[in-house]
Structure 1
């Protein structure tokens, strides 16, 4: 499996050497970003969603541990790369996958990458196994999240709203932003009483308490939310109440 890696080191030459080593000796590792300090690292991590961080300890404006404190919910593995042996215990306390000393040994680098690849492969296999089991549970749907997934009772969903390539899922007392299109949820919920009443809305018909007539009309939900019905979607909605 391919691993997306981000290199964080204040020395450009160190990043260049590491990138060359990865390219030459570690198949399937793609460097998706680099940073020289904490502020740059936060931006790059947010933009690239990496699988793996190669992280130097000492940097301007704070160290690696300051960065990790800002990222309590992380979905990547960490390989520390440093010239300072005294940080090893702190690295272990941060659940680092590996600790490499500078200058980097190629054999140690290959072992570190292989170790992370094995972790990621096992996570993916476990995730697939759990998802397959969940799909068999009647009345449930899995919501993909950045750090895994959440299992929802379909009955908890009031409506879904399109937001470009994202979807906002509205529940009784909260909402979830998911990086899937509304079309994805229209298909995922096709076995349940959900109606696509508008290009931007998918409604749980069980939550509808009133229909207002009009060219397309509108539906009023239990929550008090009123949603316009597109004329082309009116027939689909009314079929649920025949």
Structure 2
């Protein structure tokens, strides 16, 4: 599928190199424009229906994160392109789909484009359809430790789990239970069931997802109406359930 994209990069030589690589190695990317500043980038974002933005981190009069702060509702994926690896965590927190280091490695560029293409294709295929998860078993029980013993829960009754430092909140339809176990522990325990780690803070019962929203990393709404963020790095894995 074609990906409508722009490049936001203040160095003309870097823009030219990336553009030439995309033309030669990523023919499914349709470049709609280039920007050399934050304001030019904002104008292109607001004026086009985009799937992908290649975004340099360091630019005059601000940086990539300043630009993204001005686009709270995003329907595009972001690939950061930078010579500075210290921005990796900030990029992750801003829901980057991929992080490319300069000088750009062609194989990594192809991987980045393929990764975004897979996500966008899946999102488009699921749009306006009744979601039917390709579920593994949701029938089973789990024991929750308590001071005086343990509680037994049906796995299917768990809507989602939320990290709280070294504790985990287990959210049921009408209550939550705080357990002195990490979210990683429950991710491993529930691995044979239809639970997806959608974010560093959330593990969701896929069968309870009633809505999926694009934007930034994206988000899901579960059956009790709670909206949970989906990390860009975990979006592809989550969408594979459907």
TM-score by length of 2: 0.53
Listed one character per residue, the Cα deviations across residues 41-100 of structure 1 (whole Å, up to 9, x for unaligned) are 111111122110000000111100000000010000000000000000000000100000
1:67-78 matched pairs, under 5 angstroms: 67-78=67-78
1:60 match: 60
> Given that residues 83 and 101 in structure 1 are in contact (C-alpha distance below 8 angstroms), is that contact kept between their aligned partners in structure 2?
yes
1:3-18 matched pairs, under 5 angstroms: 3-18=3-18
User: Unpaired segments of 5 or more residues in structure 2?
Assistant: 132-213, 219-242
For the residue of structure 2 that corresponds to 1:129, the secondary structure is: coil
2:168 match: none
Deviation larger for 111-120 or 48-57: 48-57
> Given that residues 33 and 48 in structure 1 are in contact (C-alpha distance below 8 angstroms), is that contact kept between their aligned partners in structure 2?
no
Listed one character per residue, the Cα deviations across residues 150-177 of structure 1 (whole Å, up to 9, x for unaligned) are xxxxxxxxxxxxxxxxxxxxxxxxxxxx
CA–CA distance in structure 1, aligned partners of residues 66 and 5 of structure 2: 20
Say whether residues 1:127 and 2:127 are aligned partners. yes
Listed one character per residue, the Cα deviations across residues 3-55 of structure 1 (whole Å, up to 9, x for unaligned) are 01110000011011101100000121111011011111111111122110000
TM-score by length of 1: 0.53
The alpha carbon displacement at 1:128 in A equals 3.8
Q: RMSD of the alignment, in Å?
A: 1.9
1:164 match: none
1:185 match: none
Larger radius of gyration: 1
For the residue of structure 1 that corresponds to 2:129, the secondary structure is: helix
CA–CA distance in structure 2, aligned partners of residues 23 and 71 of structure 1: 27
1:30 match: 30
For the residue of structure 2 that corresponds to 1:71, the secondary structure is: coil
CA–CA distance in structure 1, aligned partners of residues 45 and 130 of structure 2: 27
1:176-187 matched pairs, under 5 angstroms: none
CA–CA distance in structure 2, aligned partners of residues 124 and 118 of structure 1: 10
For the residue of structure 2 that corresponds to 1:10, the secondary structure is: coil
CA–CA distance in structure 2, aligned partners of residues 66 and 44 of structure 1: 15
- Residues matched between the structures, number: 135
CA–CA distance in structure 2, aligned partners of residues 61 and 101 of structure 1: 22
Change (3 A) 1:130 1:36: farther
For the residue of structure 1 that corresponds to 2:125, the secondary structure is: helix
1:38-53 matched pairs, under 5 angstroms: 38-53=38-53
2:110 match: 110
- Name the structure where helix makes up a greater proportion of residues: 1
